Amino acid sequence: MKAPRETDFAYQAVYRYLNQLINEPQSHGEVRLPSLRQLSERLGVSISTIQYAYSLLEKEGRVYSVAKSGYYAQAVPSSAAPGSSGDLLENIYVNARRPGMRVLSADDPAALQPLDSPLLMLERELLRQYPRQPQWLSQPCGEAELRTVLAARFTTSPAHCWHAEDVYIGADLRGVLEILISVLGLRQSTMVVESPCDWVILRLLKSAEVRVIELPLEAGGVLDPQRLEALLKTETVRLILLSSKLNMPCGSLICEDNRHVIAHLLAYHGTWVLENDCYSELDDDGEGQRLRDLLDPERLLVFSTFEKFMGVEAPYGFVLARAWRSELQRHFLLRSFRLSPVRQKAIARLYNGGRIDQHLLILRRLLKERRTQLIQLLRERLGESLHIVEPQGGATVWLRSLRQVDMALVFQRLLSQQVIIAPGELFSLHGLHAQHLRLSPIGYADEELAGVVGLLGDALRLAPGE
């Protein structure tokens, strides 16, 4: 752009630059563009070259001029500009941040009833009691008070007990999982994962070159014991990832008999288990046994986060592990998570004061009400098009198209109508769940949900079969 001599095609570079300015995210649709002189100085080309590029955009209807004011444009609202790569997950993340989008792809239960106000109020009280600690006094594995509270909450018996030194708290769940991948040496090893599985976990495993074998959940959230046993006999399985109680996105609870059979198999083969506990507080009844209560704690790691039920003000992830103590401590120290000691104390006080349990009772009820409203709409309008997996907790609904359709085209059609869904392929690395999708009703009134369900029905009907 700032070559010593302009070429005949300098206006094309200016034209591309202006196109990018027009398409950048804006707080509103109208975009005021730089003046001729400003662009001439910025890009190192003549004013006439800038003027020619603007004239091309005017002919295309992309730009208009206002006397004594300058050039203006309307930002392009189409879905082609942002997130136009072939990566489905990238498209979802990018488009979800655009204004006016109806995002039904997210899994954010706490958004319905966050604990922001009591958490921040308690934090202010603690700030008056505790002066700021020097950085060298911070605890790299988490504040001792919170680690103690979590250890007590996860303890269910003398055999299945945890202590503060078994708990490690990180800045977020992703950072904690990255540490686990390093500590356990999962790179290029074989791991069995229940499927469908959270896309964040799958992406992390893929980036670490972990060989993932997916074990599909059957109807009712049941795992096939024979299929699992065959895998454990024929494969060198480094680790198996299972939900503690509530599987998401299905929203299913593993039945007690199946849970006992699976635990027996894992114990017999001496398999290490990584338990996903992110959703166990969000099942509808809030009671019942977790998978970990049937497993050997010496061959078990449990990870979770506060964010799913407390909100974005408590983004921390944590892991419980009796083994690998020195390695975990070293990795958490090297990662140097900068966590607020006062906020961690505040979370601990919310647990100790019973506020978390009170909050969970309300949150579970509200989540069930919102899911029920969405399911009723889906059954009334799309009952002949969709099979609905009745969720037993969480914030989302798992659906399967009864007709073989190209779900990617369904996604694209809805995206063009400013609706974002989560296609089932996101929850598998091997092409499973291609006929599924996940919806979340959080944040939308019944009237708006009804409109979205209508658009979904149209997209499913118009999508070509596979």
**Which residues in 95-132 are b (16+ Cβ under 10 Å) and which e?**
bbebeebbbbbbbbbbebbbbeebbeebbeebeeeeee
Per the domain annotation, does 81 fall within a domain?
no
Per the domain annotation, does 1 fall within a domain?
no
Number of neighbouring beta carbons within 10 Å of residue 23: 17
368 and 348 within one domain:
no
273 and 168 within one domain:
yes
d(CA 216, CA 218): 6
List the Cα angle 378/366/198 in 5-degree steps.
Answer: 70
Per the domain annotation, does 79 fall within a domain?
no
367 and 349 within one domain:
no
Cβ-proximal residues to 447 (8 Å cutoff; 6+ apart), any chain: none
Cβ-proximal residues to 348 (8 Å cutoff; 6+ apart), any chain: 143, 145, 146, 148, 149
Q: pLDDT tens across 50-74, in order?
A: 888 888 787 767 788 887 788 887 6
Kindly write down the DSSP assignment for every residue of 261-303, as one continuous string: HHHHHHHHHT--EEEE-TTGGGBSS--S--GGGGS-GGGEEEE
Answer whether 265's CB lies under 8 Å from 124's CB.
Answer: no
Here the CATH number for the domain that contains residue 371 is: 3.90.1150.10
204 and 320 within one domain:
yes
Q: In 383-425, which ranges are continuous DSSP H helix?
A: 407-416
401 and 302 within one domain:
no
Per the domain annotation, does 179 fall within a domain?
yes
d(CA 394, CA 280): 9
384 and 264 within one domain:
no
Q: Which residue among 305, 325, 353 closes a domain?
A: 353
Q: Which residue among 334, 353, 372 closes a domain?
A: 353
396 and 282 within one domain:
no
| Burial class (CB within 10 angstroms; exposed 0-12, middle 13-18, buried 19+) of 368 | middle
- Rg, C-alpha atoms of the chain: 26
255 and 216 within one domain:
yes
Number of neighbouring beta carbons within 10 Å of residue 329: 15
Q: Which residue among 353, 384, 415 closes a domain?
A: 353
Answer whether 104's CB lies under 8 Å from 396's CB.
Answer: no
Per the domain annotation, does 83 fall within a domain?
no
Per the domain annotation, does 336 fall within a domain?
yes
Amino acid 80: pLDDT: 43
Number of structural domains (the chain) is 3
Tokens of 12: 């094309």
418 and 384 within one domain:
yes
Q: What share of the chain is helix, strand, coil (3-state, %, to 5)?
A: 50, 15, 35
Low-confidence stretches of the chain (pLDDT beneath 50): 1-8, 27, 76-83
Here the CATH number for the domain that contains residue 273 is: 3.40.640.10
Number of neighbouring beta carbons within 10 Å of residue 383: 11
Amino acid 26: pLDDT: 52
Sign of CA dihedral 107, 109, 112, 113: negative
Tokens of 271: 């398999």
169 and 249 within one domain:
yes
- Dihedral (C-alpha) 359, 361, 363, 365: value to the nearest 10 degrees? -160
Per the domain annotation, does 291 fall within a domain?
yes
pTM of this structure:
0.81
Tokens of 79: 């879905």
Domain span at 16 = 10-74
274 and 243 within one domain:
yes
CA atoms within 13 A on the CB side of 129: 10
301 and 420 within one domain:
no
Amino acid 221: pLDDT: 87
Here the CATH number for the domain that contains residue 30 is: 1.10.10.10
Helices (H) and strands (E) in the chain, counts: 16, 18
Per the domain annotation, does 335 fall within a domain?
yes
